[in-house]
A and B are shown apart, each in its own frame.
With several copies, the nearest count.
Chain A
Amino acid sequence: MNSDEAGIVLEAALLTTEDAIPIIEMAKLFEGELAPRDIENMLSELRCKWAGSGLELVEVSSGWRFRTRPEMQKFLDRLDPKKPQRYSRAALETLAIIAYKQPVTRGDIEEIRGVAVSTQILKMFESRCWIEVIGHRDVPGKPSLYATTSRFLDDLNLRSISDLPPLQNIEPQLEQHDT
């Protein structure tokens, strides 16, 4: 297989999956004929090839994938005008706590927000595969520890948790007072 053919196969693989493909997985397409290095080169070429189109090739937490450029959305929404509903403040705050403070128990979330957390909210993010139970804290009741998934990162187009916007210090004077 020459490199043009390999590029065609790689492009077809990336366009036919919603999930991102890790480079190690892409190597399977060529039965080990191509080294990760070669595949990375092909990915850069593909990325250039798609510059100026409606889709772009991006690297996210679990690998590489195509996605539409944000400026396409206003057109694509016309085909499917029902917008996904936005999350409530309670849901978003819960998600933010899990994302920034993980792993956390439900009790931790309630402590920070000062109110009870509805089971529904946790279930909703679990069913979207954005959060998962990764263990239990070794205290009475063995509460579940929640963390975000790589699907969450993928869906927000992030490579890792450290790509999340940093938590803002609302009052920098606080540190000055304390020190």
Chain B
Amino acid sequence: MIVARIHGEAILELPQDLYIPPEALEIVLDTFEGPLDLLLYLIRKHNLDILDICMAELTRQYLAYINAAKQRHELAAEYLLMAALLIEIKSRMLLPKHAEMEAEEDPRAELARRLLEYEKIKQAAITLDALEQAGRDFLLPHVPRDWLDIPEFPGVESEDLRRAWMSVASRVRMMNSHKVEREELSIREHMARILKKLQGRNAAEFVELFEAGAGLAILIVTFLALLELARESLVSIVQTDVFGTIYVKANNEF
């Protein structure tokens, strides 16, 4: 009778006589997903017929495994339970057969059924893993549907900001306590950019703050931004000697 080959991955190459170096045992048992997996391995490895298992041989090999493993670390209860089951089946097979017991099921049938069932699932798990999986083997389109990136946040458009500013400005006008100046926005933007550049460092060289290759307009705006930062005492501009390097430092040390 032909015995099926091992489906799926071959687990470990072990010597035919089942000698396992003790230190390898932990690894060996970790390789198995439980007693059924270990039994299947033993059956397939030794070309045993799953439908006509030689219980004495299988039990001997199984016990050899778990006895060796027990010396190394605590064994999961399932392995011990299976050992008991194997011994029970083996002993039932030793009992003399009576006439009325002929109709009774082979004591090994239930074990064979479970092993075959488990082997199918083991195979199914491999097949499942081989299917294309979203995020791993293909991606889904991700174009923002809204004007905004994150729909769960309230939406804001630049026009909302203009209106909000207008309402602040008109309130300020009514209170007449604060002068709101119109200012070149790009200057404020460059002020922020310069401060970001200065973040986390002592000082920067004056020239370093000007973007190389930027147009004249940008250079002027950067210069104005530096002056404005100095005026608002957000930065200090220092020069240690005449014609020496000019440094800009943020006034934010604690």
Interface residues of A (CB under 8 A from B): 12, 14-18, 55, 65-70, 72-73, 76, 80, 83-87, 89-90, 92-93, 95-97, 99-103, 111-116, 128, 134-139, 142, 145, 147-148, 154-158, 160-171, 173-175, 177-178
Partner of A175, one of B138, B143, B182: B182
Confirm or deny: B248 has a beta carbon within 8 angstroms of a beta carbon on chain A: no
Does A103 lie within 8 Å of B192, measured CB to CB?
A: yes
Q: Known contacts A135-B199, A154-B134, A156-B131; is A113 also within 8 Å of B143 by CB?
A: no
Q: Which residues of B contact A160 (CB under 8 A)?
A: 186, 189
Q: How far is the CA of A90 from the CA of B37 in the complex (A)?
A: 11
Please give 20 more A-B residue pairs, beta carbons under 8 A apart, in addition to A138-B234, A161-B189: A16-B139, A18-B149, A65-B140, A73-B147, A84-B155, A92-B125, A92-B126, A92-B156, A96-B121, A100-B161, A111-B178, A112-B121, A137-B251, A156-B128, A160-B189, A162-B189, A163-B158, A167-B124, A170-B162, A173-B2
From 176 to 214 in chain B, residues with beta carbon under 8 angstroms from any chain A beta carbon are 177-180, 182-183, 185-186, 188-189, 191-192, 195-196, 198-199
| CB <8 Å contact, B156 and A156 | yes
Complex contact B143–A164 (CB within 8 A): no
Asked if B180 contacts A66 (CB within 8 A), the reply is no
A134-B116 in contact given A66-B143, A68-B139, A171-B50 (Cβ < 8 Å):
no
Q: Do A114 and B144 touch (CB < 8 A)? A: no
Closest A residue to B192 by beta carbon equals: A147
Contacts of B168 in A (CB 8 A): 93, 96-97, 112-113
- Are A158 and B158 within 8 A (Cβ)? yes
Assess A139 versus B233: contact at CB under 8 Å? Given A92-B161, A128-B153: yes
Enumerate chain B residues within 8 angstroms of A80, measured Cβ to Cβ: 145
Nearest-CB residue, chain B, relative to A136 = B252
Q: Please list 24 pairs of residues, one from A and one from B, whose beta carbons are closer than 8 Å in the complex, sorted by A's number.
A: A55-B141, A68-B140, A84-B153, A89-B167, A93-B33, A96-B162, A99-B161, A100-B165, A102-B188, A102-B191, A114-B118, A114-B172, A134-B199, A137-B232, A137-B233, A145-B234, A155-B133, A157-B132, A167-B124, A168-B124, A170-B116, A171-B180, A174-B173, A175-B182
Please state if A100 and B149 are interface contacts (CB–CB under 8 Å): no
8 A-B pairs closest in CB distance: A138-B251, A115-B34, A147-B192, A136-B252, A92-B125, A114-B36, A16-B145, A161-B189
B120 touches A168 (CB 8 A): yes
Tell which of A18, A139, A158, A163 has the most Cβ of chain B within 10 Å: A18
Question: Would you call the interface of chain A mostly helix, strand, loop, or mixed?
Answer: mixed
Whether B142 and A16, one on each chain, are in contact in the complex, defined by CB atoms closer than 8 angstroms, is yes
The answer, yes or no, to whether B136 is at the interface (CB within 8 Å) is yes
Closest to A178 in B: B179
Contact between A90 and B33 (Cβ–Cβ < 8 Å)?
yes
Give chain A nearest CB distance to B71 CB in angstroms. 21
Cα of A153 to Cα of B159 in the assembled complex, Å:
13
Interface size on B, residues (CB 8 A): 95
Chain A's nearest CB lies how many Å from the CB of B75? Answer: 12
Closest to B186 in A: A162
Report yes or no: A84 in contact with B154, Cβ–Cβ below 8 A.
yes
By the criterion CB–CB under 8 Å, are B78 and A115 in contact?
Answer: yes
How far does the Cβ of B101 sit from chain A's closest Cβ, in whole Å? 20
